[in-house]
Amino acid sequence: MIGASGQIGRPVVAALARDGWEVTAASRGGGRDDAWDTGVRVARLDRADDGALAAVVGDGCDLVVDVVAYDASHARQLTSLADRIGAAVVVSSVSVYEDGTGRGFDTTAEPDGFPVYPVPVPESQPLVAPGAATYSTRKAALELELRLAGAELPTTVLRAGAVHGPHSPLPRELYFVKRNLDGRRRRVLAHRGESRFHPASARNVAELVRLAAARPGSRVLNACDGEAPTAAEIGAAIDTVMGVETETTLLDGPPPGGTVGGGPWSVPLPVVFDMCAAERELGYRPVVSYPDSLPGTVEWLTGALREGDWRERFPLMARAYPGAFDYEAEDAWLPRA
């Protein structure tokens, strides 16, 4: 398991170990999760070093799970070891999809650039052109390279939605959790709070890995939760977990000033993925619902915020959503609401 100590890796290792796999949990730091079975071996590995990966694979293994594969070179790293690897499960992203008219995650900031996806998006949806330009095109290149390997390395590619859970480097739930902890009881949601951006609990992604591990094959599957709640529903569910009551002002359109009422789920059109193929091919049933996943996330986030400023604790989140907590702009706007 490459990338074992992260938010997806932790439940993946736990699920595979429960299923009887002898797991080697690899990451640069060699971290171990308290919940893992004592039989789980831990290895320090920087996957950037081909030789180090080959050494961890050793004489061979039945399965490699890779959650930190980001481009074609990472795919080639795996396929070059195909004679020693039985099968692979590799985490990709739903950001590889485009809408058939050239719009995708990379064009969202352009005028009229937001993708108009079908609801829900099946795996047969067109993809962005593979290339080196962006995260999405690199993920498409990763997928292409793995597909070209075919039966040489049977690979399940999992296109994850908005991953959530404890240990997330990009905890979108922070948007509501921090507001509640900061005592903000009034909030604004753009797009009438109806935005839907399909979440994927790390535990559900782990379940998909577990199922794919038991049934090796060459396939590409969406990897999301069973439901895609609206931004308003997500906020309300977090309020319930935290035992707070809030008042929400709903806006018809996009965030005024770019930040007020925005946030991680604030999309003008639905971004929802079809999970039928995973159900059909692997018998996937989510192991946790979005609301039931929240108490663990809220508890972890609450603890993490005690450690310091959110920007320092979650630099990826601060880069992705720099205006997420622009209370000044919100307060200036709210009295007019």
Residues that bind ligand NAP (CB under 6 A): 2-9, 27-29, 31, 45-48, 67-68, 91, 93, 160, 162-163, 167, 169-170
Q: Which is nearer to ligand NAP, 68 or 89 (CB)?
A: 68
Helix (H, G, I), strand (E, B), or coil: what is residue 204?
helix
Write down the least CB distance from residue 169 to ligand NAP, Å: 4
Q: Which is nearer to ligand NAP, 251 or 275 (CB)?
A: 275
Measure the CA–CA gap between 183 and 244, rounded to whole angstroms: 9
Pairing of strands 162-164, 155-160: unpaired
Q: Which two tokens stand for residue 10?
A: 């932790």
Measure the CA–CA gap between 152 and 167, rounded to whole angstroms: 34
Write down the least CB distance from residue 160 to ligand NAP, Å: 4
- Identify whether the C-beta of residue 116 lies closer than 8 Å to the C-beta of residue 269: yes
Residue 120 preceded by cis peptide, ω within 30 = yes
Write down the least CB distance from residue 265 to ligand NAP, Å: 12
Write down the least CB distance from residue 326 to ligand NAP, Å: 22
Measure the CA–CA gap between 174 and 302, rounded to whole angstroms: 9
How far is CA 190 from its chain centroid? Answer: 23
Q: Which is nearer to ligand NAP, 88 or 188 (CB)?
A: 88
Identify which of 52, 222, 206 has the alpha carbon closest to the alpha carbon of residue 143: 222
- Which residue is closest to ligand NAP by CB? 6
Helix (H, G, I), strand (E, B), or coil: what is residue 310?
helix
Write down the least CB distance from residue 140 to ligand NAP, Å: 12
Q: Which is nearer to ligand NAP, 65 or 241 (CB)?
A: 65
Write down the least CB distance from residue 167 to ligand NAP, Å: 6
Q: Which is nearer to ligand NAP, 114 or 197 (CB)?
A: 197
C-alpha angle 297/222/227, rounded to 5°?
50
Residue type, 250: L
Q: Which is nearer to ligand NAP, 17 or 260 (CB)?
A: 17
Q: Which is nearer to ligand NAP, 199 or 235 (CB)?
A: 199
Write down the least CB distance from residue 200 to ligand NAP, Å: 7
The Cα-based distances of 86 to 83, 128, 134, 257 in angstroms read 8, 29, 30, 52
